[in-house]
């Protein structure tokens, strides 16, 4: 395959741009002038004419929750929906991605409006006018069960049929099924124990169902131009042998999903798995080694969480509260020992960190591990990096850490951060430029699909996140340039997984993971970046997504 005729931005400082690229099997074999590359053309060579479009290395999303994204294929987050029409549109969109006959669930219908009324001291608005007939009109072939904010459920006709419920069925003890006052037919609205019993009938997410969702999630990644992910994952064989104090591995993908997709020849993304830091001893005992590979799956990092917005001093708007440790956290001594032990075994800790105190503690533990253990090439990370102090930013830079930042988090936080922190602490709340200037390496990440409770989705599309990073309005001095943002989606996350020698730039000898964009985002106005399309995604020299 030869790609030519557009702008080729290599993200390789030794040759930033080229006229053409040649690919043989899974590798890039030539980067250079049209003449030099076209000299390699044979009778069976495919020539992709870029026609002025932009060729980049394939995007690497360095923080995802693939298993949650797969589960969201069947679960709809409807918290912000205010009108029945919008709710039905979301149900219809979900149904188009799911084979007929499979369940669709979700909630909480009417939550945003109800919570706003609660905060204002007003009566909550009436429940959203949805019943089984409305659901049947958009998806007659899927059983649907949606939860309302008042605790009632709305079931489609097929869901009622699966439960063997008819107009003759009596109300269950502790529950009530609404009926049409004229005909006596069930409306699909279920209260109390009636709704709870229906929910109990929804099948659990077994392996085959997870694969259905995983295929939909892979399609999302391909269409976004993403060829690699760094995913929060778990090994079920190890987890089952451990008694946890809380759900420590919540939102972690069962690694068996990736393994099974790979066995079936369906895995179309490279995976750098973040296994569980608390299980580092079990990981080592299982024979997993840092920077080892299972086909498209790679190991080397271990994930943990410190905080629930842990600050040194109370919040400005809640004077007696300074945040807390996360429910996953045991105690400081345990975390320090886990970090040091994992580091000694050659694994890199990657830790969710929000709050200036959380950063201080994490950096103390990182520094202690570095002092205690033998010198090595370390690629430790601070995940999210919300609310560090200027002192901790300098320490992050001095240690050469990676900071995984999610632009959508700033969008969600901008309206309230100064009220929460006060102007002085807010200055460094989402300090991307300051982190980079201090010496940190930035990964732009999606944290896809969003919050575990499904209340807030985060955009997967790298182009959307690049646009947010270069056009931020709150503290615009912290913006990145387009070239920096591209690097934070390509070579920087490749470096974070010790793969800078095999991917992340368009360089001879590297894997042919590539993406073609409809426009040159380096030369257009930054706000127009989000309007750019992914035209072609290539993984290991094979086209895996092609726009119509």
Length of the chain counted residue by residue: 548
Boundary-marking domain end, from 438, 460, 482: 460
Q: Are residues 170 and 194 in the same domain?
A: yes
Residue 457: per-residue pLDDT: 79
Boundary-marking domain end, from 402, 428, 460: 460
CATH number at residue 373: 3.20.20.140
Whether 62 is in a domain gets the answer no
Residue 308: per-residue pLDDT: 74
Six-digit token string for 5: 């005729």
Boundary-marking domain end, from 159, 186, 201: 201
Specify whether the CB–CB gap between 20 and 32 falls below 8 A.
Answer: yes
Q: Are residues 155 and 228 in the same domain?
A: no
Q: Are residues 230 and 148 in the same domain?
A: no
Q: Are residues 317 and 370 in the same domain?
A: yes
pLDDT tens for each residue of 270-299: 999 999 999 999 999 999 999 999 999 999
Range of the domain at 384: 207-460
Whether 482 is in a domain gets the answer no
Q: Is the pLDDT of residue 402 over 60?
A: yes
Whether 193 is in a domain gets the answer yes
Beta pairing, strands 54-57 & 514-517: antiparallel
Q: Are residues 167 and 215 in the same domain?
A: no
Q: Who's near 521: CB < 8 A, 6+ residues apart?
A: 54, 463, 466, 482, 486, 529, 532
Whether 353 is in a domain gets the answer yes
CA-to-CA separations, 194 to 87, 142, 171, 197, in angstroms, rounded: 22, 20, 7, 5
Whether 55 is in a domain gets the answer no
* pTM for the full predicted model: 0.95
User: Which of 487, 507, 401, 394 has its CA nearest to residue 444?
Assistant: 487
Rg (the chain; Cα; Å): 25
CATH number at residue 149: 3.10.310.70
Measured CA to CA, the distance from residue 302 to residue 459 in angstroms comes to 24
Q: Are residues 136 and 119 in the same domain?
A: yes
Mean pLDDT of all residues belonging to the chain: 96
Of the chain, the percentage scoring pLDDT greater than 70 comes to 99
Total domains present in the chain: 2
Q: Are residues 393 and 323 in the same domain?
A: yes
Q: Are residues 156 and 182 in the same domain?
A: yes
Cis peptide before 449 (omega within 30 of 0): yes
Residue 241: per-residue pLDDT: 87
Of the chain, the percentage scoring pLDDT greater than 90 comes to 94
User: Which of 191, 85, 188, 199 has its CA nearest to residue 131?
Assistant: 188
Q: Is the pLDDT of residue 454 over 70?
A: no
């Amino acid at each position: 395959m030869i790609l030519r005729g557009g702008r080729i931005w290599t993200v390789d400082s030794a040759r930033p741009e080229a006229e053409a690229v040649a690919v043989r099997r899974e590798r890039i074999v030539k980067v250079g002038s049209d003449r030099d590359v076209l000299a390699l053309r044979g009778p069976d060579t495919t020539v992709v004419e870029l026609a002025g479009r932009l060729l980049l290395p394939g995007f690497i999303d360095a923080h995802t929750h693939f298993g949650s994204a797969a589960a969201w294929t069947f679960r709809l987050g409807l918290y912000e929906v205010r009108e029945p029409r919008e709710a039905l549109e979301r149900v219809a969109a979900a149904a188009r991605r799911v084979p007929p006959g499979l369940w669709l669930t979700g909630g909480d219908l009417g939550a945003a409006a109800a919570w706003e009324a609660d905060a204002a001291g007003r009566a909550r608005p009436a429940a959203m006018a949805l019943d089984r007939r409305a659901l049947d009109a958009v998806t007659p072939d899927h059983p649907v069960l949606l939860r309302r904010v008042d605790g009632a459920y709305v079931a489609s006709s097929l869901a009622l049929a699966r439960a063997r419920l008819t107009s003759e069925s009596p109300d269950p003890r502790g529950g009530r099924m609404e009926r049409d006052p004229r005909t006596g037919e069930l409306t699909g609205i279920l209260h109390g124990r009636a709704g709870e019993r229906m929910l109990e009938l929804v099948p659990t997410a077994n392996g085959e169902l997870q694969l259905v969702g995983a295929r939909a999630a892979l399609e999302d990644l391909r269409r976004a131009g993403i060829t690699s992910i760094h995913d929060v994952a778990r090994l079920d064989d190890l987890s089952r042998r451990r008694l946890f104090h809380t759900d420590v591995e919540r939102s972690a993908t069962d690694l068996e999903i990736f393994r099974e997709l790979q066995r079936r020849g369906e895995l179309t993304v490279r995976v750098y798995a973040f296994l569980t830091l608390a299980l580092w001893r079990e990981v080592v005992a299982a024979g997993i080694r840092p920077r080892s590979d299972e086909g498209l799956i790679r190991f080397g990092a271990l994930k943990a969480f410190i905080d629930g917005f842990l600050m040194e001093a109370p919040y400005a708007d809640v004077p007696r509260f300074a945040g807390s440790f996360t429910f996953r956290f045991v105690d400081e001594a345990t975390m320090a020992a886990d970090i040091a032990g994992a580091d000694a075994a050659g694994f890199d800790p990657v830790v969710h960190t929000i709050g200036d105190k959380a950063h201080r503690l994490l950096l103390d533990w990182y520094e202690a591990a570095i002092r205690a253990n033998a010198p090595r090439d370390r690629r430790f990370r601070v995940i999210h990096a919300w609310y560090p102090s200027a002192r901790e930013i300098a320490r992050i830079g001095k240690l050469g850490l990676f900071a995984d930042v999610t632009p959508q988090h700033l969008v969600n936080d901008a309206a309230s951060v100064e009220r929460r922190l006060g102007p002085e602490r807010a200055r460094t709340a989402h300090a991307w430029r300051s982190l980079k200037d201090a010496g940190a390496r930035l990964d732009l990440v999606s944290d896809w699909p969003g919050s575990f409770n499904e209340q807030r989705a985060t955009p997967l599309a790298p182009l959307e996140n690049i646009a947010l990073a270069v056009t931020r309005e709150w503290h615009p001095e912290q913006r990145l340039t387009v070239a920096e943002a591209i690097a934070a989606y390509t070579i920087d996350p490749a470096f974070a997984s010790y793969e800078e020698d095999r991917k992340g730039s368009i360089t001879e000898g590297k894997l042919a993971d590539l993406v073609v964009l409809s426009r040159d985002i380096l030369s257009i106005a930054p706000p127009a970046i989000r309007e750019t399309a992914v035209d072609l995604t290539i993984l290991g020299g094979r086209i895996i997504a092609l726009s119509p």
